[in-house]
Amino acid sequence: MNGLMGMGLVGWVVSLALGFVVGGIFFMSIKAQVEYVVEKRGPTWLLPVALYARLAFLAVVLIVLAVSVPGEKVAAALLAGLVGALVARVLISRMVKPTQPEEGRDEPE
């Protein structure tokens, strides 16, 4: 199992799934922030609150990872988690509708 960076197949799948969940929560919060603040559906003070909440969320995830995963397996766990987060990002980006062009903007022809 040394070819799998010492984590085994189950470790890779679990790290991938956890990365997908964490990335999904992170990018869904960005999508919600755009809908409620940029599109004027919510108060403007929500913008910095959402930003700092996302930063705190990622800090907690990284601290838990550093404490709970053995040192020789951290790189593999982060790699699998990153791939899961990128997959979540692609799926969430497909859910976001493109914005309508503003009336005063010049559009390329």
pLDDT reported for residue 104: 55
Q: What is the pTM of this model?
A: 0.71
pLDDT in tens, 69-98: 888 888 888 888 889 899 998 988 887 766
pLDDT reported for residue 56: 93
pLDDT reported for residue 60: 92
Mean pLDDT value across the chain: 81
Q: What is the rounded average pLDDT of the residues 61-69? A: 88
- Degrees (nearest 5) of the Cα angle 67, 73, 78? 80
- Kindly tell me the burial class for residue 89, based on how many C-beta atoms sit within 10 Å of its own C-beta (0-12, 13-18, 19 or more): middle
pLDDT reported for residue 107: 54
Q: What is the rounded average pLDDT of the residues 55-78? A: 88
pLDDT reported for residue 106: 55
